[in-house]
Amino acid sequence: MTQNELDFLKLTALKVRRHIIEQVFNAKSGHPGGSLSIADLVTYLYFREIKADPMNPADPGRDRFVLSKGHCAPALYAALAMRGFFPEEDLVTLRKVDSYLEGHPSSREVPGVDISTGSLGQGISNAVGAAIAGKLDRRDYRVYCILGDGECEEGQVWEAAMCAAHYDLDNLCCVVDLNRLQIDGETEKVMNPNPIGEKFAAFGWNVIQIDGHDFGEIGSAFRAAADEKGCPTVIIAETVKGKGVSFMENKASWHGVAPNAEETAKALQEIDNEIKKAEVQNG
């Protein structure tokens, strides 16, 4: 990746983070922590990786994306809006009664959302189904799926993992957002799912470990996943929950709470400072 491309992705991810804070603040509810931890991954996916046309979101040949940790909809909505699937102004209607932007993504209502999610564990099963369908239909689309590490405490995840390897789904690439926190605190204390990579490897997956905030590593991992033949790939992305807002970082208390006006101003100030620096780099 060139320096220009890296600078562009960095700036775009900051704008995604800004939208996350604004959405959750306006809704007075939602999930900032886990949305911020996947901001870089979602930015890379929607601005470099996923082949989909905002003008034709139902194209049967498009790549599929499943946000299995559906509570992090604000990150997905920000990326979709910025890619042109729907107006960016609509983002602040998140969770309002008449809005199509529900707290968890609905494929019936939101252009670009392939599969409705929110019930943890189920999204990866849908992704496996979409990947099997791709093979049966002899289409060359790829299927991407982001899971939480707390989500990996769900038994259904491992049934899906077994199925994906059984059917040699090399068109499937999952990402585990390894931020080490879930709703009630540290995953290791709640119900230790680690080592998640070794578990996927035992089921027959190709496993790649990366820093989930490093665009160089993210890009290389998706390239390697696309080159892998005969088995599915999982990218274990080490991340920081709340990444990019100092007082939210690594705090389980910011899992599902909206910032108040004062906290929002502080968060946006921090992000805007970084945006200013990034804009200078982007020329």
Enumerate binding residues for Mg ion (CB under 5 A).
Answer: 148-150, 179, 181-182
Q: In angstroms, what is the minimal distance from the CB of 274 to ligand TPP?
A: 22
Report the partner that residue 71 touches, choosing among Mg ion, ligand TPP, none (CB closer than 5 to 8 A by kind): ligand TPP
CA distance 14 to 272: 8
Which chain residues interact with ligand TPP by CB under 6 A? Answer: 33-34, 37, 69, 71, 118-121, 148-151, 177, 179, 181-183, 241, 255
Report the partner that residue 119 touches, choosing among Mg ion, ligand TPP, none (CB closer than 5 to 8 A by kind): ligand TPP
Question: Of 116 and 179, which CB lies nearer to ligand TPP in the complex structure?
Answer: 179
Question: Of 155 and 283, which CB lies nearer to ligand TPP in the complex structure?
Answer: 155
Report the partner that residue 151 touches, choosing among ligand TPP, Mg ion, none (CB closer than 5 to 8 A by kind): ligand TPP
- Three-state SS letters, 73-135: HHHHHHHHHHCCCCCHHHHHHCCCCCCCCCCCCCCCCCCCCCCCCCCCCHHHHHHHHHHHHHH
Question: Of 33 and 259, which CB lies nearer to ligand TPP in the complex structure?
Answer: 33
CA distance 63 to 61: 7
SS3 assignment, position 144:
strand
Question: Of 58 and 191, which CB lies nearer to Mg ion in the complex structure?
Answer: 191
155-175: b (≥16 Cβ within 10 Å) or e: eebbebbebbbebebbbbbbb
